[in-house]
Chain A
Amino acid sequence: MIACLDHPSPVHTLDARVKIAWSVVISLLAVILIDPLFLAGLLILTVLPWFVVRPPFARIRMLLILVVITTLGTMISQGFFYGREPRTELLTLLPGLSLSQEGVIYGAIVSLRLLSVLTAGMLVILTTHPSDLILALTKLRVPYWFAFMLTLALRFLPETIEQAKRIMVAQELRGAGGKGLISAGRRFRLLLVPLLAASLRSARQVALAAEVRAYSAHRIPSKDLRFSPVDWWVMGGLTLLTILGVIAAIVGRGAVEVMR
């Protein structure tokens, strides 16, 4: 569900470093802005590129589910457990456990922040092949061993999922059914042990295979990344957005909460 979309769009053609920068800028603004209107504007801004990418309905549905769960979950939990005064009670469930108006509003603010960050991050993942993302990370001075580890994790994820499915099928065919927490716990243990053993066995084989392919951190990548004029324009736009966001946070209604 979160794999890179095959069909190309203008966002796909952007340099992966630009998309990482986009995600970082949105995350920064989501932290420093506090006014709900500004945060709503930020969320709208992060949603706009989705119209350019035009993902299939299944991905949009996933995003909408994420929006609903995050918003409701955060508003309800903050509504009940918001600890600051004053508290205007909207609903009392039990003595000492009530939903407050201030908590619900605070939950809405937090969920706007979370959604902005998630929406921007998902766009990066949906429009960037993992290989390009990892190459971009190495260009951004992330250590090669970390990038290689990340590549291997992505490389072996589909096989590990398939393996887990096959083990569960083997259990089912040998009558390991049953309902309830105890049965589920037993099945989980019976799944975890062979999966872990297989992973350790594979890890050893991968290590040997990497040795004979001359694995080294002192390598020269054959691919390079270069900014196109469009990338420079987008970076300029992101810089402007950051400056405006910081000004809004300092002088406007979106004053930084920690500065109060």
Chain B
Amino acid sequence: MIQLSGVSYTYPEAGCPALREIDLTVRDGEWLLLAGPSGCGKSTLLYLLNGLAPQVLGGTLSGEVRVDGFVPGQIPIREVSRHVGTVFQNPETQLFMLRVGEDVAFGCENLAFAPSETHRRVERALAQFSLTVIQYQEVFKLSGGQKQRLAIAGATAMGCRTLLLDEPTSDLDDDSRAELLAALSELHRAGHTIIMTEHRLEPLIGIVDRMITMEVGRIVSNGPFPVTYSRVRNSPNRPTPSTEILVDARELDFAYSGGKSVLKEVSFSIGAGEIVALKGRNGSGKTTLLKLLCGLLRPTQGCLTIAGRKQPRAADLVGEVGFLFQNPDEQLFTDSVVEEIVFGPDNLGRRVELDYFLNRTGLTQYRNAHPRSLSRGERQRLAAAAVLAMGPKVILLDEPTTGLDQPAWAALMELVVEQARHYGACVVFSTHHAEVVETFASRVLTISQGRLVDDCLP
């Protein structure tokens, strides 16, 4: 059983507590969901349960935290990990070894199990998470879903009965998410206690026992998980489609050199004002298609016209096409918010409405701040502003809402849609997020195994 009584926690050098007066009991074998906006204290609560706070992260803790009768903050984390397994949001930074089987064994070896015991535990965990056939594969070749299953397999092989999961499905497509949730359901049936944080609640209906909602470090609701989930529907002022064709793809084929075909016979046109969602499993070819549309790749066959340019290269499309990456940190490279926004327009010799973008992104007060001092949602909006400030006619977004809570992704998409309307541009965004598609898209293209299999309304 997990018990928190009157728990408050403040990070080192923080002005106010991240958690305030938390009282919570989690029964053995329960599956609990922690919901709430980014920064509300969900992850911090998990850090208290695995002992990272305050042992590694420092800070001040008051109140009492007990997990299976012991106090996580008072015994070595190595001992806590025998009881409590933790899986973080980003699978990349929690897999250490080079091959799948070796990574599952990593924790068991650290706990100094006999080699025969480690082998037994590794085999069982690999089988449990359908990883046996890829146990000799290199970790960096796995898909996002496989990596996340591997991280959970590594934690359970250590023998923990409680699993803490910090947004484990945020990077996954629908099928990978379903596979992961099925594996977790199996653990739940076997009696494991699961505590997870998540922004997207719909896929969890009928799976999770209880939901706690947090705001500003406090628990504001605590009760059974709702059996239905009603979306907050926005009605964004979408641009009106016009007859001007900005993207025209005819029978596009693409294969990486020496590799198998990634896209096959893909044909579509996109007019100014259209907001097109690109759906499909991880590895289906969505990102490759976006790279073709911004000229980073060129089709091996077929004809592609972007903003009036046939078979363009990236250099031909600077200023005409804007590309927002999934990870904003990869496109923020200057020393201040203002420099970031003016970087592209300066290179093109174009004027930029700086105050408009600062105001629209809510970054006016941070105009001289370093981009990396901003929150994830703010960095994503800044990256979008930096791209949009160049006035592109074709706006491409690769999984723009990953890791963002509802207010953050809604603000980002509204900014993009507003700019599309302003410039008479079209928007193409890849996503696994059904709610974003329904709220913002005017059209949905579905790609499966490199082929365009559906072109419809949302």
B325 partner, pick from A170, A176, A215, beta carbons under 8 A: A170
Interface residues of A in 116-150 (CB under 8 A from B): 129-131, 148
Restricting to A21-80, which residues have a CB under 8 Å from any CB of B? none
CB of A211 within 8 Å of the partner chain = yes
A193 contacts across to B, CB distance below 8 A: 333, 335
Contact status B118-A222, CB under 8 Å: yes
Q: What mask results when residues 21 to 54 of chain B are scored 1 for a CB within 8 Å of chain A, else 0?
A: 0000000000000000000000000000010100
Given contacts A212-B77, A222-B119, contact A166 B325 (CB under 8 A): yes
> Is A210's CB within 8 Å of the partner chain B?
yes
Complex CA distance for A206 and B94, rounded to whole angstroms: 6
Decide if A208 touches B140 in the complex (CB within 8 Å).
no
Identify B50's interface contact among A148, A173, A212, CB under 8 A: A212
Q: Is A239 an interface residue (CB 8 A)?
A: no
> Is A18 positioned at the interface, with any CB of B under 8 Å from its CB?
no
Which residues in window 274-309 of B have CB below 8 A to A? 294, 296
How far is A176 from B154 in the complex, measured between Cα atoms in Å?
43
Chain B's nearest CB lies how many Å from the CB of A204? 9
Residue A243 at the B interface, CB < 8 A?
no
Type the 1/0 row for B429-445, where 1 means its CB is closer than 8 Å to any CB of A.
00000000000000000
Contact partner, A190, options B88, B317, B333, Cβ 8 Å: B333
Interchain CB contact under 8 A, A206 and B93? yes
Closest to B55 in A: A211
B347 at the binding interface (Cβ < 8 Å): yes
B200 within 8 A of A: no
A239 to chain B, nearest CB (A): 31
Q: Which residues of A contact B372 (CB under 8 A)?
A: 197
Q: Which of A166-201 contact B (CB under 8 A)?
A: 166-167, 169-177, 190-191, 193-194, 197-198, 201
B97 and A155 form a contact (CB under 8 A): yes
B109 within 8 A of partner (CB)? yes
Tell me, rounded to whole Å, the shortest Cβ–Cβ distance linking B348 to chain A: 5
| A220–B387 touching, CB < 8 Å | no
Given contact pairs A205-B90, A213-B106, A213-B107, enumerate 10 new A-B contacts (beta carbons under 8 Å).
A131-B102, A172-B318, A173-B317, A198-B330, A206-B94, A212-B77, A214-B158, A215-B110, A216-B111, A223-B102
B165 to chain A, nearest CB (A): 12
Q: Which listed residue (A154, A155, A171, A222) contacts B108, Cβ 8 A?
A: A222
Does A159 belong to the interface (CB within 8 Å)? Answer: yes
| Interface membership of B195, Cβ < 8 A | no
Residue picked from A166, A206, A212, most chain B C-beta under 10 Å = A212
Does any Cβ of A come within 8 Å of B144's Cβ?
no
Tell me the minimal C-beta distance from A30 to chain B in angstroms. 30
- Please pick, from A174, A219, A224, the residue contacting B386 in the complex, using a CB distance under 8 A: A174
Q: With a CB–CB cut-off of 8 A, which chain B residues contact A194?
A: 329-330, 332-333
Contact at B93–A220, with CB atoms within 8 Å?
no
Instruction: Please indicate the chain A residues that have their CB under 8 angstroms from the CB of B111 in the complex.
Output: 214, 216, 219
CB-defined contacts of A198 to chain B, threshold 8 Å: 329-330
Decide: A202 near B347, CB < 8 A? Known: A194-B329, A212-B85.
no
Using a CB–CB cutoff of 8 Å, the interface residues on chain A facing chain B are: 129-131, 148, 151-152, 154-155, 158-159, 163, 166-167, 169-177, 190-191, 193-194, 197-198, 201-202, 205-216, 218-224
- Docked-complex contact B318 and A175, CB < 8 angstroms: yes
How many contacts between A and B, using CB within 8 angstroms? 161
Inter-chain contacts of A197 with B (CB < 8 A): 329, 372
Docked CA distance A215–B319 (Å)? 48
Query: CA A190 – CA B346 in complex, angstroms?
Result: 15
A177 touches B96 (CB 8 A): no
Question: Does B357 count as interface, using CB distance less than 8 angstroms?
Answer: no
A209 touches B315 (CB 8 A): no
Closest CB in chain B relative to A178 CB, distance in Å: 8
Provided the pairs A131-B98, A166-B330 are in contact, do residues A220 and B114 lie with their beta carbons within 8 angstroms? yes
Cα distance A221–B318 in the bound complex, in angstroms:
52
Q: How far is the CA of A169 from the CA of B155 in the complex (A)?
A: 36
Inter-chain CA distance A11–B372, complex, in Å, is 48
Which A residue's beta carbon lies closest to that of B348?
A175
Is the CB–CB distance between A191 and B314 below 8 Å?
no
Q: List the B residue with the shortest CB-CB distance to A202.
A: B93
A144 to chain B, nearest CB (A): 10
Look across to chain B and name the residue whose beta carbon is closest to the beta carbon of A222. Answer: B118
Chain B positions 138 through 182: 1 when the CB is less than 8 Å from some CB of chain A, otherwise 0: 011000000000000011001000000000000000000000000
Q: In the complex the two chains form, what is the Cα distance from A130 to B154 in whole Å?
A: 20
B97 touches A131 (CB 8 A): yes
Select from chain B the residue with minimum beta-carbon distance to A189: B333
- Rounded to whole Å, the gap between the CB of A217 and the closest CB of chain B is 9
**In the complex, A202→B314 CA distance in Å?**
30
Q: Do B315 and A170 have beta carbons less than 8 Å apart?
A: no
Question: In the complex, are the beta carbons of A213 and B119 less than 8 A apart?
Answer: no
Distance from A61 Cβ to chain B, minimum over Cβ atoms (Å): 15
For B380, the chain A residues whose CB sits under 8 A away are: none
- Which one of A177, A211, A220, A223 contacts B56 once the chains associate, using CB atoms below 8 Å? A211
Contacts of B98 in A (CB 8 A): 129-131, 151, 154-155
CB distance from B364 to the nearest CB of A (A): 22
Contacts of B106 in A (CB 8 A): 213
Closest A residue to B389 by CB, please name it. Answer: A174
Q: Are A170 and B333 in contact (CB under 8 A)?
A: yes
The listed residue with most B CB atoms (<10 A of its CB), out of A194, A198, A207, is: A194
Residue of B77, B155, B335 with most chain A CB atoms under a 10 A cut-off: B77
Known: A208-B52, A212-B85. A174 touches B78 (CB 8 A): no
Residue of B88, B93, B344 with most chain A CB atoms under a 10 A cut-off: B93
| Residue in chain B with minimal CB distance to A148 | B96
**Pairs A–B under 8 Å by Cβ, sample size 13:** A151-B97, A159-B140, A166-B325, A170-B333, A172-B318, A174-B347, A190-B333, A190-B334, A206-B94, A219-B109, A220-B115, A220-B118, A223-B102
Distance in angstroms between the alpha carbons of A177 and B386 in the assembled complex: 16
- The 8 Å CB contact of B107, one of A151, A159, A201, A214, is A214
Q: Is the CB of B99 within 8 A of A131?
A: yes
Q: Quick check: B343 and A174 within 8 Å, CB to CB?
A: yes
Contacting residues, chain B, for A210 (C-beta < 8 A): 96
A-B pairs with lowest CB-CB distance, top 6:
A175-B347, A209-B94, A170-B331, A174-B344, A205-B93, A222-B118
A205–B151 Cα gap in the complex (Å)?
14
Q: Digit string of B414-450 for contact with A (CB within 8 Å is 1, else 0)?
A: 0000000000000000000000000000000000000
Choice from B115, B139, B333, B387 contacting A221 with Cβ under 8 Å: B115
